Amino acid sequence: MQINKAEYVKSCVRAEHYPTDGLPEMIFAGRSNVGKSSFINSLTNRKQLARVSSRPGKTQTLNFYNINDMMYLVDVPGYGYAKVNRSLKESFGRMIEEYLVERDELILGVLLVDYRHKPTQEDIAMYSLYKYYEIPTLVIGTKKDKVNRSQHKKQEKLIKETLDFDENDVFVAYSSETHEGREEVLEIFEDLIQQYHEVLAEMALEEE
């Protein structure tokens, strides 16, 4: 899958503001400073599509990005930043959960965790939320270039064990610096988009 178009469309807080054109969507979640903006920029090959903020936890809305007029990438607030007050964190949580529950167009939950470290309790909670709502999940281990190659298997094992990883899901270690893992992720996206349209076509035939 080659990305020729990647552009910001809108920011939403409530379901009535979500896009209405029926394109499949993939939600991206991760703790503050996990490298989510850098990952999105690397994936789309755009330097500033998602703005890399010096203030962690700055994203306070669901941000929708149109990719090739084929899908939306949905960037959600980073979690786990101490300076974001409790009520704000709770409203973020409600916003994300509403999206997971309501959104028929959602085809993939992407969870970004720091490849260098054991997943946090909040990482575990986010992964569990995806699993509770039976959302196929791609776990991205960010900052792969910061980990010695000899430690890769150990780190992947630690992350999977900590998350109680579902073997039906996929794990990809990724470097936004070198773009290692990019082609693998884009291939996963392409396959899921194709499956989404095949399901829609089958449903349309059944309704005739």
Is 96 domain-assigned? yes
CA pair distance 24, 37, nearest whole angstrom: 21
96 pLDDT above the threshold of 90: no
Is 1 domain-assigned? no
Host domain of residue 46 = 6-207
Mind listing the pLDDT tens digit for each residue in 102-138? 899 999 999 999 999 999 999 999 999 999 999 999 9
Is 146 domain-assigned? yes
pLDDT at 48: 79
Q: Tokens standing for 177?
A: 């610096």
82 pLDDT above the threshold of 50: no
Domain count, the chain: 1
Q: Tokens standing for 97?
A: 């959960």
70 pLDDT above the threshold of 50: yes
Of residues 170 and 59, the one with the higher pLDDT is: 170
pLDDT at 61: 85
Average pLDDT over residues 35-53: 83
Mind listing the pLDDT tens digit for each residue in 148-183? 999 999 999 999 999 999 999 999 999 999 999 999
Q: What is the mean pLDDT of the chain?
A: 89
Question: Residue 13's domain is classified under what CATH number?
Answer: 3.40.50.300
Is 32 domain-assigned? yes
92 pLDDT above the threshold of 80: no
Is 58 domain-assigned? yes
